Amino acid sequence: MAGDIILGYDGSDGSNAALRVAVAVAKAFDAPLTVVFGYEPNPMGGETADYKNQLEKIGADHLAAAVKTAKALDPSVSVEPLVAALRPVESLLEASLERDARVIVVGGSGERPIVGAILGSVPHKLLHRSTVPVLVVPAPED
């Protein structure tokens, strides 16, 4: 497995826009697409098991929907879901290393600007830290 297209997916509008682009890119390069959902509960809150199970379920649901959409867009692209127990940015970086990724695709405006400024948005952090190209897809205008 090499040269994957990595997509960060959380079910938001931005990530759905990114999904469409990622399928097109995967098709163009004839590369497999890995759809990643990353989550990590704050370790400062102590024990996490039940909470993690819930998050895993949510992630699996999102990814199942993403795989379905991708297949509907283009049945010839091979799509693999990946739930990662890591923060979103870390999960994408790890996946890109592990799969020798060609590009990471993410939605651009998942967060409202002010929240993004406080949290540090995923695309922003990726642009600084990724060793592979990052493709940021703007969310559709309402």
Of 1-40, binders to another protein (CB under 8 A) are 10-12, 34, 38-40
**Closer Cβ to another protein, 28 or 38, answer by number:** 38
Going by C-beta distance under 8 Å and a sequence separation of 6 or more, which residues neighbour residue 103? 5, 6, 25, 132, 133, 134, 135
Give the one residue of 2, 28, 72, 118 binding another protein; rule: CB under 8 A. Answer: 118
- Confirm if 95 and 126 have CB atoms less than 8 A apart: no
- Confirm if 14 and 108 have CB atoms less than 8 A apart: yes
Of 41-80, binders to another protein (CB under 8 A) are 41-51, 53-56, 58, 60, 63-64, 80
First to last CA, the chain: 38
Residues near another protein (CB under 8 A) are 10-12, 34, 38-51, 53-56, 58, 60, 63-64, 80-86, 91, 94-95, 98, 115, 118-119
